[in-house]
Amino acid sequence: MEIALIGDRHTVYGFRLAGIRKTFLIEQIRQEDIRGVLNGLFDDNIGIILVTEKVAGEIRHILQETDRFRKGIMPIVVEIPDSGGPLPEKIDPMRELIKRTVGFEIA
């Protein structure tokens, strides 16, 4: 299983230095092509797709649409802060994922 990242230039370069090979710069992907990139990641041997919060906000409708191509629980889409830090109004995506999986919130 591999990890993929879709994000801004600074975040992508940082993750490339950390060894993540499947990275996609949002500046280089047109809005029409992001659907094809996501479909390819859902069909590939990807376990986790990291998407920066700002990018996820821009492509939220596409993320929800491509979610139907998911086979089982993989890949897991996780929103992460970008190089500028977390968005203040954002809820914790991992907490929400655990809440959906377990059925209640763990404090």
| Torsion of the alpha carbons at 28, 71, 45 and 33, rounded to the nearest 10 | -10
pLDDT digits (tens, 9 = 90+) for 23-45: 888 877 776 688 888 878 877 78
Q: Given pLDDT bands bounded at 50, 70 and 90, which one contains residue 17? A: very high
pLDDT at 16: 92
Q: What number does CATH give the domain 2-102?
A: 3.40.50.10580
User: Is residue 15 over pLDDT 70?
Assistant: yes
pLDDT digits (tens, 9 = 90+) for 49-69: 898 888 888 888 888 777 776
Rg (C-alpha) for the chain, rounded Å, is 14
pLDDT at 62: 80
Mean pLDDT over 10-23 rounds to: 90
Inter-CA distances, 60 with 16, 23, 31, 107, Å: 24, 18, 12, 27
